[in-house]
Structure formats: structure tokens, C-alpha cells
Structure 1
Amino acid sequence: MPKVAVVILNYNGKQHLATFLPSVLQHSAEAEIIVADNGSTDDSLSFLASSFPNVTCIALDKNYGFCGGYNRALAQVEAEYFVLLNSDVEVSAGWLNPLIQGMEQNPEMGACQPKILSYQQKTHFEYAGAAGGYLDTLGYPFCRGRIFDVLEEDKGQYDAPAQIFWATGACLCIRANLYKKLGGLDESFFAHMEEIDLCWRLQNHGYQVWCLPQSVVYHLGGGTLAANNPRKTYLNFRNSLSVLLKNLPGNKLYKILVRLALDELAVLQQLIKGRPAHAWAIIKADIAFVWNLKNLLQKRGQAKGMKETSPGNSFLLWEFYWRRNKKFSDWKN
């Protein structure tokens, strides 16, 4: 077994550590378990020291966000494989074996994820990753088992291993040398969409991303930012545009203009729903994206072999709202 480091990023998550860390310790004997504390202001560190003294702890001096926290923590970890695991994930027996075996057997596999089911409703997929992520033709993310907020019941329909476009940051297994070669997660994202950017960069360098559903974990979700938090809306809209500018080939950059126009429709939708804070978050996200164009273009210039690797011509809004295809299995991908 190659050396595997399971790294959990924690920020004021004492309760999550108490609830979920025992399952990780019970079912991950073959790995080193590390908790990277992102400058917590609660008593997470003292709780870890007293309750889990055998768990390695990396204490960062402040909250660097999901991206910066992991980059700083993983720079201090030596392993062949990194597993980035959210603090609100319960793992199952043998969950690591399919991931590591899959990576060992396929040298072109740069990253992979397990099947992600809901901790609260274990018969259904969970929003953040489900059975593997994709992007539609305009760069909107969706998953096998999750289209927008529609979560399918897990009936084994996605149990076949599949090459996907992005693996969820809730439980992401990646070759350590590739993580370091690519510079890790883009810290300008802070949080959200950073795993899509990383997986796209992996593919631009000739590697594959897979979902290996024989590995199963259960994700609570919303542990750091709830879905109704305008900050989450801001990060998702800003970072989604950033992903496209960094990675799309030159002849596809017009799609960003289409996305910006559709963002204005999203603002109107939020106002109709009586959610002015979310409408303002979308406006601020678009302004921040434009303000950061110079930095994004510099990163784009450093990219290698940029190509469009999103699936086919599927258009998420058309499929979901017009054709009424609410499930991934209804689509013709």
C-alpha cells in the first residue's frame, strides 16, 4: 500500500470532529490521518489533543480559506496520495481501497472521488459531488445523481466506475506529485469551485478524473457556509466565471459573455424570490470577476495544453427547465 495521507481541514468545527472523525479513524488504518486547523477560534485544538491524541495536527495561524488552508497544510505532508476530506464526512468500511487501487492500476488517473451519499438521507445522493461531476456547454456544474437541487435516490444506477470532469473537494483523492506540480488549489478562489479548476488543469496536463463508486462516504454538507448564505452565492458565481477564463480554449471564450448575460437573469430571479441579498451577491461577483481579469489572464497564460473537455453540447438550463429532464440518467450525454 503506498503512503496515503487523509487530510481534514477544520475551522471552528469541534462538533464535526467529534461526530465524524471516529469513523475516519476506524476505517482508515492504512492511512495517516491529519487534521489541519485553519486558525480556529473555538477549542478545536485542545479537543483534538485530549480526545484524539494520535491524530497528527497542523495548526495554521489564521483562516486561509479552503484553498489556502489545504495548500499550506499539504506542503507539510509527505505521501504518495493526498485525500482531501471534509470534516463533516462519515466514511464506510474499506472506503480507501477502491480509490487507491484505481489510481495504482491506471497511471493516467490523476484524481478520483468515491460515491457521495447524504448523511441525513443515506438512500440518496448528496449535493456536493454525488457520483461524479461534469460541466455543461456553458460551464454550469452538475453531477451524476444531482441536477441543480434534485437529488436522486441511489438505486445502483451509477455504480459503474466512470471518467468524469471534476471530483468533489468534499472527498478528493489526488496524486501528491501532481497536486504540487500544478501548484495546488487556486487561493484566489478562497472556497467553492476550486476543485473544478484543479481537475480541469489536471486534464489539460493529460490526466483523467474518475468516480469509483465502490468507495462510499456520507456527507452532511453545508458545514462551513449554508446554501442560504449570500457569501456562498457570491463565491459560486465569481469562481465559476474564473474557472472558465482560466481554462477555456481561446475560441470558446465567448461563452463567458453568455454567462455574464445569464447572471443578470439570475439577479432578476433572486429579486422575484424576495432574496435581494443574493441578487446583490451575484452583481458583486460579476464586478469582482471583471476587476480580477488581469490576474486571471496571467494564470491563463501559464496554462498548458488548454482544451475544452466538458461533455458534448448538453445545456443544463435547457435540459432541466425546457425538456424537464431532472435526472442525469434522462440526459443523452
Structure 2
Amino acid sequence: MRNLTVIIPTYNQKDLLERAINSLISKCNDEINIYVLVNNTESNYIVRNKNYANLHVEYLNTNCGFCKAVNYGLRLIKKSRFIFLLNDDTEVINQIDIDNIIHELIEKGNIFSISLKMLKGNYPNLLDDAGDMYTILGWQFKRGNGLPKELYDRPCEIISACGGAAIYNKKILDEIGYFDEDFFAYLEDVDLGLRALMRGYKNLYYPYISVLHVGSATTGGKYNDITIRLTARNSIYVIYKNLPLPLLIINFPFILLGYLIKFIFFAKKGKGKIYISGVLEGLKNLPKFKEKRRENMRKKKISNIKLEWILIKATFEYFHQYIKRAFYTLRGAKK
């Protein structure tokens, strides 16, 4: 199907990658082009599927990161109207009707992206991600993370599609720009979602297609040093690039509180210095984002009041979700 092309960036995850590709091929109702972007792998393995002719593999010279690998693929794709971005540590578990997705969601409105239902690989009855949100504390969070999957069965607007399993409108991508390569990896999808939101586009959660997600398979876990440093650093970039000055001023106390809470959290895990090093690196690098910030503010169509209200609602949703997760954990412990 020329309307949609799949991009899968990968780094030394041969077994997981093959599972992702095979699940994708078996669950699609039509032929699709699949581009695998292999970030510098010493084994230099060759991805093959003898029964699938539309599988293309591109080898990159170095481990250039998630953002640059995906952007490389996006520049190769000229004709497809929509991009299906999929992590190499995912597995599609139900049938995909691409025509229905495109017709019912993307072609009916001012929609930039849709985020699919991501389930925890080891606990498929629990959600991993039902779309990404962003709070006045400067925190990104995954909707529904750790909660029963049945609680998030309705489509809704979100702030950003999770790049692990998302479909993007290629025309709008070409307009607003691709993933910011200075992020390397982590929070680049939130930055992209906010960029689209600020220019008047919508991001949606689409619960009718589910994928299993291992999570942080490439970097080695949720709280490893690489993930903590990059996430802390990139969180600074997201704030600086996307919050208008009035919102930066109004939300500064909340943002400061958010970073203090995060520091205490990581310090208890013996990772406080790593977290601080990421924050300081982000602050040090801000001058090179000045022009990107100017462009975002120049092309912003959403009002500051509306944007602030979206962030406030997301903040309340975060705490509501936190309480729900504590309730379900407590109820599970009593059984």
C-alpha cells in the first residue's frame, strides 16, 4: 500500500526486530513498505523475509540515535502519505485495517498523529502507553501506564503520540519538521507532538490496535544511566523550545518543583548525580536552540491560555492516574 510506509529504527536487537517485522506482516490486511534503519551494529546482520518483497534495510555508519535514524528514513520516503513508526521491541497483536485508520481518523480532520495502544510485554493485561501527556511540572507521562488495559478503550485527544507505535501524517511532518536530532533519543516524540499542537494540529489516541512493548530494550532498562541522563537533558530542551515566555514565567515555580521531586526520586535510587548532570547539560546547550524556539513561537497558532489549560488538565490527569494506580496496586496486594 503506497499510502502508508512503516519505519523501524533498530540497534543490536536482531531477535526482537524479527519478531516485530513478522508480527507486522502477519497482521496487516494489505502489503506495506517496511524500512528498517539499522544503527551501527557490529554483527552487521541482514534482515530478510523471503516471502515479503517490500522490506527495505538501510545501514547507518554510526549509532546516530533514534531521531537521526528515523529522519533518514523519512527523507527516503517520497510517495507515502502516512508513516507508521514502530519500535524494534514491539509486537503487533491484532489485525490492522490501514484503510479504516486513514479514512476514519487522519482524513477526517486536522490530525497530525495517532498513538496506538501499547501493552506491557511481560504483563499484556496492563497498559504501557495510551498516548503521551505533558504537565506544568515539566513532566511527560504515559497515559494509563501500569493500569488495566480496559480502562483506556476510548479514542481521545492527547498531547503527543508515543513514537514507539504511532502513525503520522507525512504532509504535516514535512511542514513542521521531523524529529529534532539534537535530542538523540527520548522525549523527541513529545517535542514533535507539542510542535504540532502549537500550530493547530491534533494528536489522537487510537485504542483499536494494540502492540506489546518490551520497553527500553536498547538502552538496558528504565532507570539506566543513559536513559536518565538523556531524559533529564531533553526535558530542558522541551521546555525551552515549546513554552511561550508568559507560560515559562507562570509555570516556573511548578517546573522547579518538578525537577526537585525528580532529583529526590533518582537520588533515592543512587542516580541523583546522573540526573543533575543531564539537567546541567541541557541548560548548557540551550543557546543552540534559540532559533528553533523563535521559529516555534513565530509559527504558533494556539493561544497561550488554551495551551496552559491543556497543560493544567494533563497535570490533573497525571495525579488522577497516580491515585488510580495506587488503588489497583493496593487491591492487587490484598488478593
Range into which the TM-score falls when normalised by the shorter chain: 0.7 to 0.9
Task: Give the whole-Å Cα distance in 1 for the aligned partners of 2:192 and 2:103.
Answer: 22
Counterpart of 1:139 in structure 2 is 138
CA–CA separation in structure 1 for the residues paired with 2:318 and 2:200 = 31
Deviations 1:26-76 (A, max 9, x none): 1223321111112222233x2437797651112222221000111112100
The C-alpha deviation readout for 1:104-135, integer Å capped at 9, x for no partner, is 44230111111111222111111xxx222211
8 Å contact kept, 2:157–2:204: yes
Structure 2 counterpart of 1:58, one-letter code? E
Richer in helix (by share): 2
Q: CA deviation at 1:223?
A: 1.4
Indicate the residue corresponding to 2:68 in structure 1: 68
* Structure 1 residues 199 and 315, CA gap change in structure 2 (3 angstroms): closer
Deviates more, 1:62-71 or 1:290-299: 290-299
Matches within 5 A, 1:34-183: 34-44=35-45, 46-48=46-48, 54-78=54-78, 79-97=80-98, 98-126=100-128, 130-146=129-145, 151-155=146-150, 157-183=151-177
Rounded to whole Å, the distance in 2 between the matches of 1:213 and 1:240 is 27
8 Å contact from structure 1 (residues 135, 165) kept in 2: yes
Question: Which residue of the partner structure matches residue 192 of structure 2?
Answer: 198
CA distance in 2, matches of 1:189, 1:6: 22
How far, CA to CA, are the matches of 1:185 and 1:5 in structure 2? 17
TM-score, normalised on structure 2? 0.85
Deviations, residues 268-322 of structure 1 (Å, cap 9, x unaligned): 443333x1xx2111111121122112112221001111642634355469937xx
Inter-partner Cα distance in structure 2 for 1:138 and 1:67: 25
Paired residue secondary structure (2:204): strand
Where does residue 7 of structure 2 map in the other structure?
7
- CA distance in 2 between counterparts of 1:175 and 1:109 reads 8
Is the 1:112–1:210 Cα contact (8 Å) retained in structure 2? yes
Give the whole-Å Cα distance in 1 for the aligned partners of 2:276 and 2:27. Answer: 44
* Identical columns (%): 25
Structure 1 residue runs of 4 or more that deviate by more than 6 Å after TM superposition: 49-53
- Equivalent of residue 325 in structure 1, options 304, 319, 323: 323
Pairwise CA RMSD: 2.7
Counterpart in the other structure of 2:180:
186
Unpaired segments ≥5 residues, structure 2: 329-335
Unaligned runs of 5+ in 1: none
**Corresponding residue number in structure 2 for 1:253:** 248
Q: Is the 8 A contact 2:139 2:258 kept in 1?
A: no
* Cα distance change of structure 1 residues 8 and 313 upon mapping to structure 2, 3 Å threshold: closer
Q: For the Cα contact (< 8 Å) 1:99–1:113, is it kept in 2?
A: no
For residues 59 and 291 of structure 2, what CA distance do their matches in structure 1 show? 32
Q: Retained in 1: the 8 A contact 2:178–2:192? A: yes
The answer to whether the Cα contact below 8 Å between 1:102 and 1:212 also exists between their aligned partners in 2 is no
Residue 264 of structure 1, CA deviation: 4.1
Cα 1:47–1:69 shift into 2, 3 Å: closer
SS state of the match for residue 7, structure 1? Answer: strand
Look up the match of 1:263: 259
Distance 1:10 1:257, change over 3 A: same
